[in-house]
Amino acid sequence: MVGANPEKHPEVPEFYYTHESVIREPFTLMAYIAGFTENIGLVTGIIILPQRQTILVAKQAAEVDVLSGGRLRLGVGVGWNPVEFTALGEDFSNRGRRIEEQIEVLRLLWTGNPVEFHGKWHHIEAAGINPLPIQRPIPIWMGAGAPGKPVGPNRVLQRVGRLADGFFPLTEAGDTAKSLIDSVKGYAKEAGRNPDDLKIEGRIELTGTPEEWKTALVQWEELGVDAISAGTTRAPFHTPDEHIQAIKTFKEII
């Protein structure tokens, strides 16, 4: 939502983006994209849910789902930057506990109107959103860890296994990815869920050669993932055409 100036915040050990980083507002952007596309999926990767009012997120996500004909997956996480939470008037220290209640409230709001809910942080008295989304509920996907640090805390992986419809491993295909997938599937089973109901999306950064992309694709397939995302953010491209051409090349490979 906001970027911070690292020079003014020595208390934050590491910054993955700053006040100079360009980051689009996802719901606004996806509503725009929904207007000129018909088939592609719209996925947030990710919304830092505890920074935002839950009912507002439910309303915005439902609207994008309606405008896109049911193409939204809502990726959520707890975030890492306390400066953002302060700016938004939210508590950084309880974000993990709050996101669990937020997910419960989101699913209620997406599947019924009116709803009644009384939790620790949310109180809804015979109220709801309208229109409801096409998907009831919208699938909620979760990440864990951070760029360069893909293995999140066990409590976060447990939360994924208990609550998420899908999981984004923040790593390339390989032993770390396998370990993460096995962990979240195991936690899903411990929670009484069918582990196969927890979907997995691998990612391939288009930074190498097409042959390397193909090898990575095969490795993800061997891990049994349900979807693949191809990203160009970290690739050494300088123009939109270069990004688009890389994605076209990847599409030809698959």
Q: What pLDDT, on a 0 to 100 scale, did the predictor assign at position 3? A: 92
DSSP the chain: -----GGG-TTSS--SS-TTS----HHHHHHHHHTT-SS--EE-S-EEGGGS-HHHHHHHHHHHHHHHTS-EEEEEE--S-HHHHHHTT--STTHHHHHHHHHHHHHHHHH-SSEEEE-SS-EEEEE--SSPPSSSSPPEEEE-SBTTB----HHHHHHHHHH-SEEE--S-SSHHHHHHHHHHHHHHHHTT--GGGSEEEEEEETTS-HHHHHHHHHHHHHTT-SEEEEE-TTS---SHHHHHHHHHHHHHH-
Q: What pLDDT, on a 0 to 100 scale, did the predictor assign at position 143? A: 87
The domain limits of the chain are 6-207
Q: Is the pLDDT of residue 49 over 70?
A: yes
Q: Are strands 42-43 and 72-77 parallel, antiparallel or unpaired?
A: parallel
User: Cβ of 247: how many Cβ atoms within 10 Å?
Assistant: 14
Average pLDDT rounded to a whole number, residues 184-201: 97
DSSP 51-70: GS-HHHHHHHHHHHHHHHTS
Q: What pLDDT, on a 0 to 100 scale, did the predictor assign at position 147? A: 67
Q: Is the pLDDT of residue 13 over 80?
A: yes
Q: What pLDDT, on a 0 to 100 scale, did the predictor assign at position 202? A: 95
CA–CA separation, 64 and 102 (whole Å): 19
* Segment 197-219, tens digit of pLDDT: 999 999 999 998 999 999 999 99
Average pLDDT rounded to a whole number, residues 174-196: 96
* Segment 95-138, tens digit of pLDDT: 999 999 999 999 999 999 999 999 999 999 999 999 999 999 99
Q: Is the pLDDT of residue 185 over 80?
A: yes
Q: Is the pLDDT of residue 54 over 70?
A: yes
Q: What pLDDT, on a 0 to 100 scale, did the predictor assign at position 182? A: 96
Q: Is the pLDDT of residue 149 over 90?
A: no
202 vs 6, 55, 126, CA distance in Å?
31, 30, 40
- Is the CB of residue 129 less than 8 Å from the CB of residue 55? yes
The one-letter amino acid at 66: V
What is the fold, at CATH topology level, of the domain defined by 6-207? TIM Barrel (3.20.20)
Q: Is the pLDDT of residue 152 over 80?
A: no
Q: Is the pLDDT of residue 235 over 80?
A: yes
CA–CA separation, 120 and 97 (whole Å): 10
* Segment 68-97, tens digit of pLDDT: 999 999 999 999 899 999 999 999 999 999
CA–CA separation, 8 and 31 (whole Å): 35
The one-letter amino acid at 154: N
Note the pTM of the prediction, 2 decimals: 0.93
Tokens of 96: 């993990």
Q: Is the pLDDT of residue 222 over 90?
A: yes
Q: What pLDDT, on a 0 to 100 scale, did the predictor assign at position 153? A: 82
Q: Is the pLDDT of residue 148 over 80?
A: no
Buried b (16+ CB within 10 A) or exposed e, 158-185: bbbbbbbbbbbbbbebeeebbebbebbb
